[in-house]
Amino acid sequence: MVHYVTVATCALNQWALDFQGNYERIRESILQAKAGGARLRIGPELEIPGYGCQDHFLESDTTLHSWEVLARLLQDRSLDGVLIDTGMPVLHRNSRYNCRVVILDGRILLIRPKMHLANDGNYREPRWFAEWARVASTEDYVLPRFIADITGQKTVPFGDALISTEDSCVGIELCEELFTPQSPHIAMSLDGAEIIVNSSGSHHELRKLGRRIELIREATLKCGGVYLYANQKGCDGDRVYYDGSAMVLANGEILAMGTQFSISDVEVTLATVDLGAVRAFRAGMSSRSTQAARSSVRYPRVVAGISLSAQQAQFDFSVRPTRPLAPRLHPPAEEIALGPACWLWDYVRRSSLGGFFLPLSGGIDSCATAVVVHSMCRLVVDACGRGDAQALADVGRVCGESGFVPATAQELASRIFCTSFMGTANSTAETRARARALAAAIGSYHIDVDMDAVVAAIVGLFALVMGQTPRYAVHGGTSAENLALQNIQARLRMLLAYLFAALVPWVRQAGGRPLLVLASANVDESLRGYFTKYDCSSADLNPIGSISKADLRGFIAFARDSMGLDVLGGFLDAVPSAELVPFSEDYKQSDEDEMGMSYDELGVYGRLRKIKKCGPYSMFAQLLHEWPGVGPREIADKVKRFFFYYAVNRHKMTTLTPAYHAEAYSPDDNRFDLRQFLYNAQWTWQFGKIDDAVERLERRSGVVIEE
């Protein structure tokens, strides 16, 4: 028998500690859900204070203000008639918990603390919260007095319980709990929970969404039932971008799915599901029925005085169930086009600055950063064209012109994006021309600068003080001289970038606000340490800082074809070069030659080091099997070369520009890749093990070992 229920799940662009803005977005999402006929609405994890508060969770103010926002929601009679699941920190018996708070018609039904905390990668939840360890158990929570005055309740249930409505049963699990081997939804579904809700604070990584979808799909395919997944979206003040994708699944099928990347602040995803189909699906699995009958876990049930379905819906032919759909998964190149673009827009509109400044070198990395900004402008212009009030207001504020509506991405870029080619005598005409052509194609305000006079002044000052003039290696100088001369150019670009970012708006527009400076170092160069400390890699933000060279090339090819930017073909064909030394017929500077390893090899090393947890010896052993055409001694040399340069350059990670997190092997020192920055770069014990293994392998194969 059909039993239709309309449910709503949300993706909200919350901002850490923005209690007023967070409240308004939560309220708007509830009103949209109610207008869509939903009687159950769930929102993202910790949506009241924002998921990314980090050590602010340790402050009593954060908990107090969260209760104050909840008080507003409880007092708002326009929200009645909807079972609301929201999130905030709660202090219970002097321990702080990451909680879901379920409310209905101005009363609190249940406070459900998180039972399995995320503690890897970018997540450090045990630093701020305790785990609730008592499965299927609750105890009384004494409400703050000002909340008790509103609800008329002195205590409410606190713990692990199900919500019993008049026509169904709802279970709650939080984010990380879905990813654990013994997820709560299993026992809940065996105990009769027909709807499982999951509120998450899950960030974007390239190629990650498919795994998330499969976990939820598998949960409902194996257990039966309806699964609502909510997630935060946007940049809430840190390096990660929460990628939305709120969805509703039933019995292994996706019924509704929100966007993964969007600049809208509130997105509500609705679906009409058939609980009758859930009951038939479960009853048709005899093994499931047997396990349910034998299950020793029996949850306390909190009664909610609401029916999730309208009484007449069974025979109301206007009610239409939501039909299954295929998941929408962006290819990695499109993820790069959209995720960092949304992240940058959130940052610039919330920072109250006037746009971005980018040193545009004519190479593929700064080209990629520029194209990300172009993609951002395209998204904003599309939103303005749809009449998005928030986007229109943000554009007016960032551009300093209320009522301004850009017609094209190029028109918007001309107001908020400044690029500059900072050339020297070592720069080629080709790179200068590529930078100029790209700036024209995307509409940025472009400045062509020659820095030779500034470089000569610095070198001249050194010669005046020390009595000697450094020379490049091609002119007979030592490696120390050669490196110092390159670093002068690189570091001057950082100084000039900040000078122009501060004063170009002043020149172009009275009262113009400074620009955010963008960097363009990719994840592979950071891993190897192939950049100058405090050069153009030092900036305010880096949208490509944890994206590999290979993925960036794929992104540029995608942008060339999908955005009509034919100029990008020249960047794909160019050999990567820093252009910091004089070229000659016999020598042309190449990044891969100088690094002593290819970008593809760096991607392999990075994944083995971080994702596979390999040190030097285990990486060597792994590559013996993965690179069968390469001899043991060559593999040993490659591994030792990588770990030597990784070790001597690790200190550079401590000053790495905040970068959009996109890759699981990012070496970001902030909190994702926690390691020391002073190493014994000789790796005496580890390299000795590798050398011993090489000798054994060569003796086994009959290779003569030279002493």
Annotated active-site residue in 164, 361, 366, 548: 361
Known catalytic residue: 114?
yes
Using DSSP, state whether 51 is helix, strand or coil. helix
φ/ψ of 110, rounded to 5, equals: -160, 140
Annotated active-site residue in 10, 99, 169, 175: 175
Among 49, 51, 104, which Cα is nearest to 77's?
104
Q: Which residues contact 399 (CB under 8 A, 6 or more apart)?
A: 354, 412, 415, 416
Helix then strand then coil, in percent of the chain rounded to 5, is 45, 15, 40
CA-to-CA distance for 379 and 262, rounded, in angstroms? 8
* Alpha helix positions (H), 443-548: 452-466, 479-508, 523-528
Known catalytic residue: 402?
no
Known catalytic residue: 137?
no
CA-to-CA distance for 178 and 228, rounded, in angstroms? 12
Q: What residue type is assigned to position 276 of the chain?
A: G
299 close to 160: Cβ distance less than 8 angstroms: yes
CA-to-CA distance for 6 and 226, rounded, in angstroms? 11
Annotated active-site residue in 10, 29, 34, 45: 45
Using DSSP, state whether 171 is helix, strand or coil. strand
Q: Which residues contact 593 (CB under 8 A, 6 or more apart)?
A: none
φ/ψ of 613, rounded to 5, equals: 60, 45
Tokens 């929460």 sit on residue: 242
CA-to-CA distance for 242 and 236, rounded, in angstroms? 8
Q: What is the DSSP letter of 55?
A: G
CA-to-CA distance for 73 and 463, rounded, in angstroms? 69
3-state secondary structure string across 674-698 = CCCCCCCCCCHHHHHHHHHHHHHHH
Q: How many CB atoms lie within 10 A of CB 357?
A: 28
CA angle, 486 then 491 then 496, to 5°? 130
Residue 570 in tokens: 């020249």
The DSSP string of 276-288 is HHHHHHHHT-HHH
Residue 285 in tokens: 């699995």
CA angle, 675 then 677 then 678, to 5°? 120
Annotated active-site residue in 114, 233, 610, 638: 114
Residue 171: beta bridge partners?
196
Q: What is the DSSP letter of 168?
A: -
Q: Which value, to the nearest 10 degrees, does the dihedral of the CA atoms of residues 685, 691, 697, 702 take? A: -150
φ/ψ of 569, rounded to 5, equals: -60, -35
Residue 185 in tokens: 């939804």
CA-to-CA distance for 35 and 32, rounded, in angstroms? 5
Known catalytic residue: 612?
no
Encode 655-685: b = buried (16+ Cβ within 10 Å), e = exposed.
Answer: ebbbbbbbbbbbbbbbebbeeeeebeeebee
Using DSSP, state whether 339 is helix, strand or coil. helix
Q: How many CB atoms lie within 10 A of CB 478?
A: 11
Distances (CA, A) of 421 to 430, 454, 480, 493, 506: 12, 15, 27, 10, 20
Catalytic site positions? 45, 114, 175, 361
